[in-house]
Structure 1
Amino acid sequence: MRKPVFFEGSAPWCPSVEALLSDVGDGARVGVGGFHFTRIPVAQLLELRRAGRRELTYVAWGGGLALELLLDAGAVARAELTFSSLDVFGLAPRFRRAIERGELELEEWTALGMISALNARSRRLPFEPMQQLAGTDLGSGWSRPTGGDASGAAGASGAAGAAGAAGAVDLVPALQLDHVLLHASRADDAGNVELRGAGGLDRSLLFAADRLLVTVEERVAVGELGAPGAFVIPRTFVSGVALAPDGAYPTSSLPHYAADLRRLRALAADPDAPLDAAALAPHPRARAAAKVPPAAIRHGLSCLGVAGRQQSRTTPAETMVCALARTVAAGGVATVGSASPLPTVAYLLAKLLWAPDLLLMSFNGGLVDVGWRPMTLSLAEQLDFDSAAAHAGGDETYHWYYQQGRVTHEVVGTAQLDATGATNNISIRRPDGSQIRLPGQGGMADVANLHASFLLYLPRQSRRNTVQRVDVRSATRVLPGPMTVLTDLGRFDRDPADPGAPLVLTHLHPGVELAEVKERTGWPLRVADDLKTTPAPTAEELTALRERVDPLGVRRLDFVPAAERGALIDELLDREEELLAAATDGGPPT
């Protein structure tokens, strides 16, 4: 084990990003902080590209833009992660291509597995115990001792669950890291670093690393750190820090600038687009967007809702949103996962109409107890950053909420579902035996058996995504508790008397015929004796949904085919940019 390189008495400031990364050599195990489109250390990744580093092992919660940057330069030989996607923009093309061609060695972790492995490393232990995985093909190489406490422990909220209910544990081996690259808001002259906003797995990464290398937006005097919601990393753990304004662009670094989804959309639209410094040059719109007051954003979205009033027929998306929302009760705890427009709209509808005390965690658990807001594609982080009761890490909320069984709702999507409720977001076999690489399961393998219930959604049910048996098991609910699948046709539930049996169709949506469900289901359909019709959205629900909760119609993203998704995203970004321009000028949007 390498000896950690810690602060040794002088401020760890470096004159440049190049100097900061001078000791990161070929073959290093490099952890990357941030997640999705939040605080990715882009300036450091571009420097690794420029320096021609090779044979790196990439370690992070997610891949996405960060991994795409390194794969594009041929810098990575191995990756250890839980998923890799470009979020609402779809699959990460370089990751998919590298896996399908066998050019990238990959170790897939569950989110809790990676957190546990990092915790073990930070404590200098060989392993860390965690709730035993079940119903997944991941984690099979971990040690599984016998004789665990079978009593379990439900959360204080009374959620039954699954959290430790079986008592068995996995022993997750420590995950070694040579360097962690992190981008943060500010650092002081002594080298203390201030993190703000959703933390991803940063707090687990930084304490597990031999060396922590940080870029920041600002350098301030000692005593000036400690902004509301901030977490300060003591200088003891910082091996080097360099000033790099816009060092996370085109991802966000609030409160300095928002994620530039327009730039990210352009990069995602062209899988062969250049990913160099010139292509990622900062655009002023990202800083301008971060300076618009949240109240002005909310007002602008409400004006759009009033301007867009309509009395059109109820759409399948609206039926699904209202059906999902009705599963949310007052006093619940809901968390927003990755690329989940429809469930997010459902949570917001419930919070507005009948569950104002719903504790909502967004940005993968990093922004805790956010206030109600309208649905938006590119402005959500600013609104939640401003209203959150706590800025945390996904690792912390896993311990606080998931492992204690406190989460009542996290509706997740799946690419493939089988008759028993097993999911697959990892890979699908083509008829010729080759694989289509999917993003990965993220935290599904954990949460399927940590939540009080397991809810899945399929916006466009077909025989391709409902199959007799999945190719790879990402996650399955195997412990007692509800397991529900909501599609655009109806609702399926697990038979509590026979959990291993095929799912049962319990509800048909209004206007859907049973014959259509049979035609679009890839297994022999089981129908409940008391098959019900899903209650149609009420006038109150539809008005709130269309005018206040989702005036832009972001919910449509889950329903359009992949070929049409880009055009809809462009439409949404156009409207949001109009709104920001109007808010900046002081007038209402048109």
Structure 2
Amino acid sequence: MMELSKKYISLKSLAKYIKNETSIGIGGHHFARLPIALIDEVLKNKPRNLEFISWSGGLALELFLQKKSINKIQLCFSSLDIFGLAPNFRKVCEENSIEVIDWSALGLIKALRAGQQNIDSEIFQYPWGSDLPNKTKFCRKYLDPKTNRTFAMVPSLKIDNFLLHATRADEDGNVEIQGPRALDTIMAGASNNVLVTVDEIVSRRTLISEKKGSLISKNFITAINHIPFGAYPTSSVPYYITDYEDLGEAFVNSPIVIGKKIKKNKNFVKNANKLTLKKFIKYFKNSKNRISIKGKPTSDEIMAYALSKEYTNESLCSSGAVSPLANVSYFFAKKNHAPKLILTTMTYGHHDVDFRPMTLSFSEVLDRQNCINFWGGDDSYSIYYQNGQITHEVIGAAQIDKYGDVNNIEIKKKSGGLLRLPGQGGMADVSNLHQNFICYVTKHSRLSFVKKVDYVSAGRGLFKEEERKKAGLKPGKVKIFTNLCVFEKNIKTNLLEVISIHKGITKKEIELNTGFKTIYSKNCKTTPVPSKKELKILREEVDPLNIRKLEFISGEERMKLLKDILKREKELIKKI
């Protein structure tokens, strides 16, 4: 039996490290490896006046907000992914009851990096075209004394307590994160206390011989608790996957109560880790296992197909936050015409994944098995994003104006007040850093297309070929895909022009649903549609469960489809 370090303590003792009026950071990413058990234990102590610092708020932030534990928020983005807006975050923003500072992702990474390295500040590419620096003051301009080029500078950011759920640890307290590590390593380095829960304790010799993941050395770790299923209902692969059924039922109620399905779904979330790509692809060859659709291409299929035609074998595509339509377009391209396309998923956690059918429950398991390498979010920005290596990252947009500027932060209501949106995530950065700035809107309307956005969360500030080359970036295009047409920003006028119209859609229909004067390119054409063979591939091989349609429907219809998808995924594991 191993003799454990004194760093191993009870969950109750671990939670006591969180004192009132301190800052907390949360490890993991979206619905993966969130320290749920530790958060629940912390909240039992009724903490007050905490400052929440993280790339994404999401579920963790919602749990703290509903207990009124937070008095300040610093983040880039907060939503409940496929389940929609985060209600508690939205409420405090619209009421202006809590100070909220929106960061660009690159800005936050650099501030944490400075904290990790014990330096006062860091510089990075300025987010030209975004209102974010002026609105939230998260950064300031910095003039390089040697080149006279303007960059952005952020001050060092330190965190009092970092709450992390990791895969496993050894007897000495060395912590291993298997698979994508999000911002966990730099957040650990920028924190005074690193408080960890793990699913498994293994020997030092096991960590040495297997070398399965990223290591956070024991000298960074304050205390650890061993608690299997400590991240449930979020995932901790290879032990268990995300339980979307549990989350889906929790999010329709207030307050949010998670974890109710653990007895019912425990075998499912564990056994799903045994699924292989070969079995998954084979399963959908049987038409009974698919959600079948017949007839002509629908608007979602036309959009996915049109997006896919933007990519070639030379493309490097990044899939950020959950975006079914974007992922369908990527995987369709890999299957149909661009098999050498490099696709990264889970915000660059999985690098260069193989083709697979779309799935909600199993994407992390399958991409983990079939990617070339794992990265952290900080690596993705410093190695790929800042270097201009990404050609495409297709992003959903809430509000767009005639200049192609995007607003995903807040919209002014006609009745007064604000409608808070999830946030820009990394859009303020990637709108310039990526070769092409590609967005989509699933419902083209005057609410989405306005003369001038209320808040420019992202815009291509570096647009002209010369200025992009001077910045070390590749010239590219700005395009907006909707359910009616495709826009492209004109390099001479800086205005959006319609370059293609979907079959069956009239110019009048576009004009009635656009809040600014519609300009048509001289070469405006009909948007290409998939052939019968390509439509069959899209429906039966790429997205046999119709996950793409979740972005095009709402209300009861959406919940019905979501339940059907999850039911079929559970049946798949039972059969396989």
One-letter code of the match for 1:186?
A: R
Are residue 550 (structure 1) and residue 543 (structure 2) matched? yes
Of 178, 197, 205, which aligns to 1:196?
178
Using the alignment, how far apart are the partners of 2:441 and 2:287 within structure 1? 28
Alignment partner, residue 158 of structure 1: none
Is the 2:127–2:461 contact (alpha carbons within 8 Å) kept by the matching residues of 1?
no
What is the alpha-carbon distance in structure 1 between the residues aligned to residue 322 and residue 406 of structure 2? Answer: 17
Aligned length: 556
Structure 1 length-normalised TM: 0.91
Is structure 2 residue 145 aligned with structure 1 residue 145? no
Give the structure 2 partner of residue 219 of structure 1. 201
Please report how far the alpha carbon of residue 292 of structure 1 lies from its aligned counterpart in structure 2 after TM superposition: 3.3
Give the counterpart letter for 1:266 in structure 2. E
The 1:169–1:251 alpha-carbon spacing in structure 2 relative to 1, beyond 3 Å, is: same
Quote the residue 1:57 is aligned against: 51
1:267-309, Cα deviation, whole Å (9 max, x unpaired): 1222x14437768778413223223344333322333488666
Matched, 1:71 2:62: no
Going from structure 1 to structure 2, the CA distance change for 1:259 and 1:28 (only over 3 Å counts) comes to same
* Offset at residue 498 of structure 1 (A): 2.1
SS at match of 1:125: coil
Q: In structure 2, the residue corresponding to 1:517 is in which secondary structure? A: helix
Aligned to 1:496: 491
The letter of the residue matching 1:362 is: T
Structure 2 CA distance for aligned equivalents of residues 553 and 535 of structure 1: 21
Q: Distance in 2 between matches of 1:106 and 1:267?
A: 25
Change (3 A) 1:73 1:352: same
What residue in structure 2 maps to residue 7 of structure 1?
Answer: none
* Structure 1 or 2: more helix by fraction: 2
Give deviations 1:455-486, integer Å, cap 9, x for gaps: 01111101111111111111001212310011
Stretches of structure 1 lacking an aligned partner (at least 5 in a row) = 1-9, 152-166, 584-590
Deviates further, 561-570 or 544-553:
561-570
Paired AA for residue 450 in structure 1: L
**Counterpart of 2:419 in 1: which secondary structure?**
strand
- 2:561 aligned with 1:578: no
Provide the rounded CA distance (Å) in 1 between the counterparts of 2:287 and 2:184.
Answer: 37
Asked whether the 8 Å contact 1:12–1:238 carries over to 2, the reply is no
- Structure 2: how far apart are the matches of 1:529 and 1:510? 18
Letter aligned with residue 327 of structure 2: T
How far, CA to CA, are the matches of 2:380 and 2:185 in structure 1? 12
For the aligned residue pairs, the C-alpha RMSD in angstroms reads: 1.9
CA distance in 1, matches of 2:147, 2:556: 49
Choose which of 68, 71, 91 in structure 1 pairs with 2:85: 91
Which residue, out of 95, 102, 124, partners 1:101?
95
Q: Residue type matched to 1:201 in 2?
A: L
Distance 1:305 1:559 in 2: 24
What residue number does 2:37 align with?
43
The Cα of 1:432 is off from its aligned counterpart by 2.0
The yes-or-no answer on 1:250 pairing with 2:250 is no
Matches of 2:15 and 2:289 in 1, distance apart? Answer: 52
Residue 292 (structure 1) aligned with residue 275 (structure 2): yes
Counterparts of 1:258 and 1:11, CA distance in 2: 29
Relative to structure 1, the CA distance from residue 228 to residue 573 in structure 2 (aligned partners, 3 Å threshold; closer, same or farther) is farther
Q: What is the CA–CA distance in structure 1 between the aligned matches of 2:460 and 2:146, rounded to whole Å?
A: 21
Native 8 Å contact 2:246 2:258 kept in 1: no
Q: In 1, distance between residues paired with 2:292 and 2:12?
A: 54
The 1:440–1:310 alpha-carbon spacing in structure 2 relative to 1, beyond 3 Å, is closer
Cα contact 2:283–2:289 (8 A) shared by 1:
no
Measure the CA separation in 2 of the matches of 1:279 and 1:269: 15
| Aligned residues of 1:337 and 1:363 also touching (Cα < 8 A) | yes
Q: Which ranges in structure 2 are unaligned for 5 or more consecutive residues?
A: 464-475
Residue in 2 that maps onto 1:208: 190
Choose from 379, 386, 404 the match for 2:387: 404
TM superposition shift of 1:563: 5.2
How do 1:551-570 residues align onto structure 2 when only pairs under 5 Å count?
A: 551-562=544-555, 564-570=557-563
After TM superposition, give the deviation of residue 95 of structure 1 in Å. 1.1
Contact 1:72 1:275 in 2 (8 A): no
CA 1:506 to 1:273, structure 2 compared with 1: closer, same or farther past 3 Å? same
Judged with a 3 Å threshold, the aligned counterparts in structure 2 of structure 1 residues 27 and 310 are, in CA distance, closer, same or farther, namely closer
Q: Within 2, Cα distance between the matches of 1:21 and 1:207?
A: 20
Of residues 319, 322, 335 in structure 2, which corresponds to 1:352?
Answer: 335
Report the Cα distance in structure 2 between the residues aligned to 1:148 and 1:332, rounded to whole angstroms: 36
The Cα of 1:339 is off from its aligned counterpart by: 2.5
Provide the secondary structure at the position in 2 that maps to 1:449: helix
Length-normalised TM-score, structure 2: 0.93
1:297–1:580 contact (8 Å) kept in structure 2? no
- Does the 8 Å CA contact 1:84/1:95 hold for their aligned counterparts? yes
Q: CA deviation at 1:562?
A: 4.6
Contact 2:284 2:290 in 1 (8 A): no
